[in-house]
Structure 1
Amino acid sequence: MSNRLANLKRLATSGIVASGLLAALAGPGLAQEQVQKGGTLSVIVQPEPPILVLGLNQQGPTQTVAGKIYEGLLRYDHDLQPMPGLAESWDVSADGLSYGFKLRRNAQWHDGTPFTAKDVVFSATKFLPEVHPRARANFSHVESVEAPDDYTVVFKLKQPFPAFIKAFEVSTAPIMPAHIYEGTDYKQNPKNATPIGTGPFKFDKWVKGSNIHLVRNDKYYLEGKPYLDDIYFRVIPDAASRALALETGEVDISQYNDVEPFDVQRLKALPHLTMTTKGYEFVAPLSWIELNTREAPLNDKRFRQALMYGLDRQFIRDRIWFGLGRVATGPVNSVTPNYEADVAKYAYDPDKAKALLDEMGLKPGSGGTRAEITLTPMPYGETWARAAEYIKQSWSKIGVKVNLASTDVAGWVQKVSNWDYQATNNFVYQYGDPSLGVARTYTTENIRKGVMFSNTMGYSNPELDALFAKAAVENDPAKRAGQLGQAQKILVDDVPVIWLLEMEFPTFVNKRVHNAVTTAIGTSENFADVWVEKKK
């Protein structure tokens, strides 16, 4: 292996094949293990996905299941470096305008139809731009997508877009079967009920409210894989019941918000479970308190800065999230490329907060109240409710009265997306690059009423817009880093949101399960490498 690796390193500059082979050697699942084939895996999925066609819905629960059915051209390691997926190798031109992919020659769809470049061209030019908001934005940079032969695809860009290499993960750009969807109404296609992908597992049955069953794809293109016979995804709405299912061994894996933070230490102590916070590097979740900057006094950055100083975010991390995560310093998660650490800091300082409110002319009135706002908490479980209560108490100490307005999930989405709120807590994903997952939250062009996870705060700064626009197309890494660093400094001064935590989700895995978390999307991966020890 060492001689082969040395030869490939020598060839790495010679073209498309070497780049992919080197990535393959660096990929997961290469350790020589005593793999046991067969067996059933049981995974929590919560809430129940609305649909399993990943091109039509990219919510976390959908990807948890459908990430085993569908695949993207690339996968990404924990350092966000690309690895082979449906593309076995790739090449990027020196000017950043051409991305070439060599495709797997032995991949096929679950119905037996061969996978070819036609599927990639269809997905990138027709299906995804129509129904996938994130892919639409990414592929808007593309001038053309060509297929010189059945197993080669070349993307020509209008101008450099360095983040483009991160745009091929399975949730960001799932490859869809052209023979099933071409010429149809994608959202109404009857095949949506029985999804067909190229992944290591095939759809078998969905018992609504109970479980989703996937079975082994015996014709998967990686010889001998997957190792598992099948996977059951268990729908368990109640958090206490999910924790109990892990304790008893009824389920093998949890992820994301499945386990409330206050249950983490107890479950970590159980001898049959392991816990990791790895596997979320690609999404790099960041939580915050979002502020509707259209309304006074939230339209004054001094008020927003006062709210920042008036919150002990270390307490929130230690006592409400029980040590999960890191206190955020700004809009970019520190695990994401081009993170800027040299920004203004907002340590907990109620006196500074009061001084800023005094400067605004907001003097204490009856009961010490200077201003009053409404906080609509995100209805995602008990921990978020506790955070809202703490925020209310903290801001009351600087003279800002907070009224809590409870909603259900649908009502919350309706209010926030239509700007019918003053403050709410939320978290979003960064997708491996600020141009993909950060800029969308703050640029003026993305103020889109009715669209969740856009610039729902109504924040607008032309200087910031220009920096994000330049960084998106800057091919010089040093210049781009400078532009993104300056953008972060502007945002931290303007405080359009109150950044809370770089979130770390606990993933619990039964010790009999191997290779559950091997890439930057963790348990959303395809599980081709996962195997289980037989129960004794």
Structure 2
Amino acid sequence: MKKYLPLIFVVVLVAALTGCGVSQETSDGADDSVLVFGRGSDSVSLDPANVTDGESIKVTKNIFDTLLDYAEGSTEVVPALAESWESSDDGLVWTFYLRKGVKFHDGTDFNADAVVFNFNRWMDKDNPYHQGNFPYYGYMFGGYKGDEGHVIKEVVAKDDYTVEIRLNFPQGPFLSNIAMAPFAIVSPKAIKEYGEKIGEHPVGTGPFVFEEWVRNDKIVLKKNENYWLEGYPKLDKLIFKSIPDNSARFMALQSGDVDLIDGVNPDDVTLAEKNPALKVWLRPSMNVGYLAFNTEKPPFDNVKVRQALSMAVNKQAIIDAFYNGLAEPAKNPIPPSIWSYNDDIQDYEYNLDKARELLAEAGYPNGFTTDFWYMPVPRPYIPQGKKIAEAMQADFEKIGVKTNLVTEEWATYLEKTGNGEHSMAFLGWTGDNGDPDNFLYVLLDKDNAVAPDAGNIAFYKNDELHDILIKAQQSGDIKERTKLYRKAQEIIHEDAPWIPLVHSTPPLIGKKNIVGFVPHPTGSDKFVKVEFGK
């Protein structure tokens, strides 16, 4: 047996989100046990397994715990609800030894039966509590029960505090996947009580308890007085408030209405650095912002069209205008911070003449007209969606491609792009677990080019790529996986289903006296140790 014992520390992640706003009295320190986080948009749902958007996961990360978690500031897997774990020599059986004495917020016991209940809910479409699409489960574990590529065979409670997860075949990133926020353990009692409404009544074991949700305004969480990590959390309340406009959010911080913000305009970083009352944090870069072509729709089913548009975008000019130096041009779907990054690949050069030639070869000598979908909310990788879209719109027009800018409310945008209703669309990804699989398989494999919750919104399908990604997924040899992922990036670059735009280093700005805040590279953090200094 391969034994994995915890180091002498406990999982505690810390913060990075968006949105908040409360009274001047609260934020100015009259009540220094309440932190208000200003963010760009509301959550879609607070059922962690049924969402993929960062604004939802930022909140659920503070309500729920996972079996495993990531160390502060990195994607090293560490204990959480499971204190230790071990695997069989063939990697097909994983045994987790659970933390004892933990309670859900509704007072019920966390135990092995609760873990089994959650896994069965996620993976079995015939389970009565499988109410929703559970997209992340399908992304990370090869589909659902009965699917050919499904990784997990069964989950069994060996006793009250021992769980065995049996696999159909080994999975290289298995532990990293288990630690992801979507696989948080929800109270079975609450699921049975609220059914498909559980996303409005979240009940976990995490450091904060759900108190109130005013749609498109704020989500209020209160301290879990019985949290299993003794002495934490430090805050009595954590409030996420939605302020869609970046400038308005920064003004709310300056006026004391909020304590911490993300989705920051580049110029505001410079202003904040000059303000002695404020502090700037930089989240470690592990993301990509991209323009996806819907390869199932003409003219984007033609690789020469996709390559032509790739040559028409001046990425460096976009970074200079909208990122204040806190980004680098992207040439691959994974960022340089992810192992197996293929730096040998040469990006498509910015060459308008060559772009026009390729369009003519594709049968569009005079260009064409299409819709261009842009995100309505600031994201870490695309902080000003409309303005960046307008800059790219001007680039495309230089080669005869005219675009109509389109957007939707955030939840609707995600729904429609996941359903393939777009022609080309902005989206991006912040890595969930530090593994290349989390980018390449989730975002570009044919398994995930399936409506209504496509992770692969390019609807790009390449059988050679699929075989490589599955082989890499099932290998435990990091050298072999690295070689396979480098080849995968070559295939993707040639087929150009995306224009990878940037890898950003997202800034956050907050009050100088905030302590214990360490932005996590996944963008999904717990405010367990955060407090206000004196």
1:109, 1:329 → 2: CA distance?
A: 44
Mapping 1:293-304, distance limit 5 Å = 293-304=295-306
2:501 match = 500
1:156 match = 166
CA RMSD, Structure 1 to Structure 2 (Å) = 2.8
2:518, 2:187 → 1: CA distance?
A: 27
1:145 match = 155
Q: Deviations over 1:147-189 (max 9, x none)?
A: 222222221211111111112235220101123325x673145
2:486 match = 485
Asked if structure 1 preserves the Cα contact closer than 8 Å seen for 2:340 and 2:486, the reply is: yes
1:20 aligns with 2:20: no
1:58, 1:499 → 2: CA distance?
A: 20
Secondary structure, in 3 states, of the residue corresponding to 2:154?
Answer: strand
* Shift, 1:443, TM fit: 2.3
Asked if structure 2 preserves the Cα contact closer than 8 Å seen for 1:247 and 1:267, the reply is: no
Structure 2 residue ranges without an equivalent (≥5): 15-30, 125-129, 142-149
* Shift, 1:125, TM fit: 1.9
Q: Name which of 196, 201, 204 aligns with 1:197.
A: 204
Q: Name which of 89, 101, 104 aligns with 2:99.
A: 104
2:320 match = 318
1:180 aligns with 2:193: no
2:290 counterpart letter in structure 1: W
2:521, 2:431 → 1: CA distance?
A: 12
1:530, 1:506 → 2: CA distance?
A: 18
* Shift, 1:361, TM fit: 5.3
Sort the Cα spacing of 1:497 and 1:334 in 2 relative to 1 into closer, same or farther, 3 A: same
Secondary structure, in 3 states, of the residue corresponding to 2:173?
Answer: helix
Structure 1 residue ranges without an equivalent (≥5): 1-12, 30-36, 364-368
1:28, 1:231 → 2: CA distance?
A: 15
Sort the Cα spacing of 1:109 and 1:163 in 2 relative to 1 into closer, same or farther, 3 A: same
2:415, 2:3 → 1: CA distance?
A: 49
TM-score of the aligned structures, taking structure 2 as reference length:
0.85
Asked if structure 1 preserves the Cα contact closer than 8 Å seen for 2:66 and 2:178, the reply is: yes
* Shift, 1:466, TM fit: 1.2
Q: Deviations over 1:395-446 (max 9, x none)?
A: 2223333343454446644653443332222213432323233223322333
Sort the Cα spacing of 1:254 and 1:155 in 2 relative to 1 into closer, same or farther, 3 A: same
* Shift, 1:262, TM fit: 4.2
Sort the Cα spacing of 1:371 and 1:118 in 2 relative to 1 into closer, same or farther, 3 A: same
Q: Deviations over 1:186-232 (max 9, x none)?
A: 3145xx55432211222233445543332222211112111222223
1:85 aligns with 2:80: yes
1:263 aligns with 2:268: yes
TM-score of the aligned structures, taking structure 1 as reference length:
0.84
Asked if structure 2 preserves the Cα contact closer than 8 Å seen for 1:135 and 1:167, the reply is: no
Asked if structure 1 preserves the Cα contact closer than 8 Å seen for 2:11 and 2:80, the reply is: no
Sort the Cα spacing of 1:406 and 1:86 in 2 relative to 1 into closer, same or farther, 3 A: closer
Asked if structure 2 preserves the Cα contact closer than 8 Å seen for 1:127 and 1:186, the reply is: no
2:360, 2:52 → 1: CA distance?
A: 45
1:331 counterpart letter in structure 2: P
1:373 aligns with 2:370: yes
1:76 counterpart letter in structure 2: Y
2:416, 2:11 → 1: CA distance?
A: 45
Q: Which has the larger radius of gyration?
A: 1
2:280 counterpart letter in structure 1: M
1:528 match = 528
* Shift, 1:326, TM fit: 1.8
Asked if structure 1 preserves the Cα contact closer than 8 Å seen for 2:446 and 2:466, the reply is: yes
Sort the Cα spacing of 1:528 and 1:208 in 2 relative to 1 into closer, same or farther, 3 A: same
1:275 match = 280
